Structure 1
Amino acid sequence: NLRGTLPPGVFPKDLALQVIRRLGAEGANYLAVEWGGEAVEAMSVDERLTLANLTVDFGGKAGLCEPDEQTRRYLGDAEVTDLHPVRPDYRLVLEVDAETLEPQIACPPAIDNVQDLSSVVGTQLDEVFVGSCANGRIEDLAIVAGYFEGRQVNPRTRTIVVPASKAIYMEALSRGYIQTFMEAGALVMNAGCGPCLGRQHGVLGPGERALSTSNRNYAGRMGSPQAEIYLANPAVAAVSALAGAIADPRGFN
């Protein structure tokens, strides 16, 4: 039950990481997780998809948000006629106060090694990756483009942007985001998984350190087992790419 309104600089990724921080990487093993509360009701479908996506990363079999009018609009002309809530028996109800949450970051080598962002600000980075099924949708790219507009990424930190799908890539093109990324000095790759699974586009070498908007940071996930991976929201990724080190988007100038 995610209560209240998300403060500036805090996003659904932070809520998911806070839940993983409290329950652990196996906290929902083979269970369905329902995300609800005021914070979820105020989210777009894109934002809710981030919560559903990260459910599997603490063991969940399914991540659900109660359907509403936003869901119906998102589905458009799809022939879905029976959208109604199911009232299950809950094994656990976890209360999270969204309004008091600060940005969260999953530190190496595990997704449940979650800390407050402020504890790692200033950590130098070799790479920043924006994309993946967790945070590569158009709203995520819009956040990053807003920070990159008129600025340059740090030259010692390679910054890689990968839209999650062809449709998202085309929408980002039409909105001018791709041009913004390239003018800022970022590398824009073809739609897909990108560096997330360590097979292409920015594979990490031994001793390198990356910040990623993806959903997994175990050793070897993005390349060398000797590399380090931090997971954070798109705003943190954007300002960290500009700074060349982990940075806080709140009050970023």
Structure 2
Amino acid sequence: MNFSRALLSLPLRRQTVIGALVMATVLYIVYQFIFVAELTESSRPQKHDEGTQQATRRRHQELVLKKHPKDLRPSKVNEIHDDAEVAADGNDNKNSDAEGKRDAVGKKTIAQNDIQNVEEVKGKQESKLTFQCEKSGKIISVQKLNDNYCDCPEDGSDEPRTNACANGRFTCLKHTKHFPESIPSGWVNDGVCDCCDGSDEWKMKKFEADLPLNLQKRIGRFLSPCPDQCPDAS
């Protein structure tokens, strides 16, 4: 009562200021109570949600880690099936490799036998063929031709491609009017080019006297290896 009287005794302007301060204080206190209440209510559901989420997450992990036996059967069957396929493929590959090796060995053996048979047949056929020396008339096997042994010493006709016979003649593969058609067998593989195509020097023997190439061109005689000087040979 004394406070009310004292308040009423004050001027109107002061009463208005004091009333405004009192109302502001009351509103602030009420706001604080409301804020604290809402904060308390909002914090409780949040804790409940976090607990629920953790429980749900834990349950999901348990379900993931824990598999029912029915869920394991198909994978086991697939694994067994895959292993069987792998084993079958491996066996097939091994069998195919083994068969391939056997086929290769068989083909190689057949080829070797065929070559041997052909050589035997060729040898038998050549053994039946004969050659007659020009001057002496001696009969020899064709297998003795150009074997680097003189069987016809009178004319050397059995060694036209070697120098086995001293009086034999070597026939050039090509010839022109400026080069001989045949040469003595003793000139074969002596390091000097006598045939225009150099066919008499197939061993490419090096001559002791090394003449410069320009000098060889000047004198018209070449040393082994021989150049081809008869492109238009007949």
Where is the strand percentage greater, Structure 1 or Structure 2? 1
Say which one has the larger Rg. Answer: 2
Give the TM bin, normalised by the shorter chain.
under 0.3
Return the TM-score normalized by structure 1: 0.19
